[in-house]
Chain A
Amino acid sequence: MTEGARAGHEGGWVCYRCKVPLEVQTVRLQYLRTIFALNLPACPRCGMILIDEELAIGKMAEAVQALEDK
């Protein structure tokens, strides 16, 4: 994450490569065969998506657990 984006002024994120602020976009994430549409910060130029730690170890981990429950 730190290589892809850095926190800019006023707490916003900036794409490290493109040097442009990230914008919230509807992005599609796939896990196994399931596709989810989520609103996440993304670089409008290169398309890099920012998934912060809270989302990754929070809701995403919980969602993965729900999919894998036997």
Chain B
Amino acid sequence: MAVDRCLSWQNVRNIAGSCIRPGGSLLTERALQFCSLPRGSHVADIGCGAGGTLDYLERSGLCDAVGLDYSATLLKEAIPRFASMRLVRGQAESLPFKNSFFDALFCECVLSVLGERIKALHECVRVLREGGFLILSDVFAARSTALHRPAAHSHLPGAGRVLEKDDLVGFLNENGFSLLLWEEHEMLLKEFAATMILAGVSLSDLWNCSEESDGTKTNRRGLSYFLLVARKGPLR
């Protein structure tokens, strides 16, 4: 069952602003440099939250953006600011959009909190047109944080397990994407964690050692944050 994963919003917003993720709009801006999007492009922000990325896209004036989030609390915060944009309440695992419609999809700091990551990624593949851009950023295991990993595991396991680059890039390759950019931003993750701590938000699920039900152990050291841009289809 999907959960409205809204933190104590007012407190977080006061400290971190409307982009509740490492780097804020800095990485959004960086990713756009690798996407050749003509004016009027159809863009969706999956997990738009209170609209930090939508704010940025609207200011850029280059696209017709749609935001989707499951949190009614965050959408309520975003609605008054986006008269010209569509905001939709829905789940990343079941996108209410047509096939091959979007020129670009943003999914920033969202995959790691989803229960069904594979399903969400397949939905991204479905709604993105050939030649469209997928922009992902999230926490991942930069060094081998898996102290013990069972031999039989599926790609991109569910919530609670840290993402790994090989799994993610493997999925994209298998689904016909070309990787345009992979960057690691460990310091931005640390700064974000420190900001959240000062805001009184517990990030213990992310930062503390944990053990999964299948025996996989993770350690907060070695976590980093990636920015990925991929293009649906071959490199031009």
Please give the residue numbers on chain A whose beta carbons come within 8 Å of chain B beta carbons, in ascending order: 31, 34, 36-39, 59-60, 62-64, 66-67, 69-70
Contact = CB atoms under 8 A, between A and B. Distances in A.
B167 interface: no
B194 interface: yes
A70 B224 CA distance: 11
Given A66-B207, A67-B190, A69-B190, A36 B198 contact: yes
B209 to A, nearest CB: 12
A59 B200 contact: yes
B14 A39 contact: yes
Given A34-B191, A59-B197, A69-B190, 14 more contacts: A36-B15, A36-B198, A37-B15, A38-B15, A63-B193, A63-B197, A64-B194, A66-B190, A66-B194, A66-B197, A67-B193, A67-B194, A69-B221, A70-B221
B195 interface: yes
A70 B193 CA distance: 14
A63 to B, nearest CB: 4
Nearest to A38: B198
B220 interface: yes
Interface in B178-195: 190-191, 193-195
Given A59-B200, A66-B190, A36 B221 contact: no
B191 A67 contact: yes
A63 B194 CA distance: 4
10 contacts: A36-B15, A36-B195, A37-B15, A59-B200, A63-B198, A66-B193, A67-B190, A67-B191, A67-B193, A67-B194
B187 to A, nearest CB: 8
A54 to B, nearest CB: 12
A53 to B, nearest CB: 16
Nearest to A39: B14
Contacts of B197: 59, 62-63, 66
Contacts of A62: 197
Contacts of A34: 191, 194
A5 to B, nearest CB: 21
B54 to A, nearest CB: 23
B87 to A, nearest CB: 27
Contacts of B195: 36, 63
A69 B191 contact: no
Contacts of B194: 31, 34, 36, 63-64, 66-67
B13 to A, nearest CB: 12
Contacts of A67: 190-191, 193-194
B97 to A, nearest CB: 37
Contacts of B220: 69
A62 B197 CA distance: 7
A38 B194 CA distance: 12
Contacts of B221: 69-70
